[in-house]
Amino acid sequence: MRTAHAIAVGLSAGFRLATAAPVSPSDLLYVTTYPIGDGATGKVVTLKLDQSTLKTVANSDSCGPYPSWLTQAKDILYCVNEAWGGDKGDLHALKIADDLSLTSLSTGKTVGGPVSTTIYGKGGRGLAIADYAGGGIDTYSIENPKAITPITFEVFPANADARPSPQEQARPHEAILDPTGDFLVFPDLGSDLLRVLRVDKETLAYTTTPSYEFARGTGPRHAAFFKSGTQTYLYVVCELSNLLQGFSVAYNSDKTLTFNRLSNTTTNGGTYAVPAGTSAAEITLSPDSKFLTLSSRNEKSLQYTVANGTVVPSDPLITFSIDAASGALTHVQTAPAGGVNPRHFSFNKDGSLVASALQSDGRVVVFERDAATGKIGKAVAEANVAGMPNFVIFKE
C-alpha cells in the first residue's frame, strides 16, 4: 500500500526542474551546514534566489565548526554551534551586513549540543535553547546583541529506566513558544516528555510546570502550535516511533497546561508502518495556519530529477490540512523533498515557496507551493552546498 501510494504521488506531481514565474531577485535564504571530513568547518551560507537560479552569495564560519539552528531578529541571526564531541556548545549573535557578510557580535556557552532556539519575553528580549547532547536547556538575555547574557543553565536528571541511546538521558530537541507567549515547550526525545515552562515575560525567568508523558520509545522531536478561535492545538512529530500526534491544549487556572490527545497516526497519515529505517524530522505550520507539513528522512520512497537530469531517490514532505473547528488533520499530499534526509525545511512569508535542506545529498531545493491548496509543485531552483545542509530559512 505504501509503495503504490508513493508511486502514484510521484507520477502525478511532475518533479523536473522547471522555470517558474519570476521571483524577486532580493529573495535570500540562510543555510547552515555540518562539515564533512576531519578538520573541516561548517558554514552559514547565504543563497540568492533569482527566478530559476539559486546561487551562493556569501558564506561564513562565524558560528563555529558545527552550525545548526538559526533564529532571525531583524538584522541579527542567532546561530547555535552544536560543537560535536565537545563538552559545551555555543550561541552566536551574528550581524547581517549590507553586503550580506556576517559578523559575530557576541557569543555564549550552552549546556551542550544546542539544536534549537526560540525568542520569548517582552520585546523579544529572551532566547531559549534546547540542548540535545547536553540533556538540558539554556535561557539568554538578547536585549543587547553585542553582549548576550546567560540567565539559566539547566541539565535534567538521567532517566531512571535503563534504555539505550538516545533514550538513556534527556534529549530536548526543540524550543517552542506557545501562542500566548506564557509558556516554553520542549519536546524531549530522550525522556519522552513535553517539558513545559511558564515564563515571566518581564524578568525572562521561568517556573517548571508538569510535563506531558508519552509512552516510552515514542521519541517526540519537534512540534507546532495552531490557534483557532479560543482553542489551541499542538501537533508533535515523533522521531523514534514515526508518529504524528495531535493534542488540544487547555490553559488551566493554576497557570499550567494540559494536553489531551486527539489523534495518533504514522507520519504518512495512515495506520500502516513506514519503511524500515525511517526517521521523522521537521514539522511546520504554513504561514496562513491552514496546513501542516512534516519531513520524513531515509524513506527513499519517491524520486526527484536533479538539474543535470539524474533521477535520485527522495524522501517526502507530507502535508495535511487542518480543520479549524476540530483541529483534525486530513492528508493532502506526499511530495518529494528533493533528495535524502530533509532535516529541515521552511516556507517563505506568503507560503508560495518551500525550501528543503537535504543533509545527505548536499543540496538545497526550492519548490513552488500553492498556498490555497497547500500542495507543493515544481522545483523552482536548486543548489549544491558544500558539507551537509541541516537548516534553511528565508530571510525575513
Q: What is the pLDDT of residues 309-338, one digit of tens each?
A: 999 999 999 999 999 999 999 999 999 999
CA distance 342 to 383: 14
Radius of gyration of the chain (CA): 20
CB 195 within 8 A of CB 186: yes
Amino acid at the residue 139: T
pTM of structure: 0.93
266: confidence class by pLDDT, cuts 50, 70, 90: very high
- pLDDT reported for residue 364: 98
Superfamily for 2-12+27-68+100-109+141-149+156-394?
A: YVTN repeat-like/Quinoprotein amine dehydrogenase (2.130.10.10)
Q: Where are the alpha helices (DSSP H) in the chain?
A: 2-13
| Residue 9 burial (CB count, 10 A) | 18
Looking at the predicted structure, is the pLDDT value of residue 185 above 50?
Answer: yes
Burial class (CB in 10 A: 0-12, 13-18, 19+), 321: middle
Helix, strand, coil percentages for the chain (3-state, nearest 5) = 5, 55, 40
- pLDDT reported for residue 16: 36
- Give residue for cell 535564504: 29
Name the grid cell of 361.
Answer: 545529498
- Give residue for cell 571530513: 37
| Residue 103 burial (CB count, 10 A) | 11
Q: What is the pLDDT of residues 68-122, one digit of tens each?
A: 999 999 999 999 999 998 889 999 999 999 999 999 999 999 999 999 999 999 9
273: confidence class by pLDDT, cuts 50, 70, 90: confident
CB 352 within 8 A of CB 369: yes
What average pLDDT does the chain have? 93
272: confidence class by pLDDT, cuts 50, 70, 90: confident
Looking at the predicted structure, is the pLDDT value of residue 25 above 50?
Answer: no
CB 273 within 8 A of CB 266: yes
Instruction: Find the mean pLDDT for residues 149-158.
Output: 97
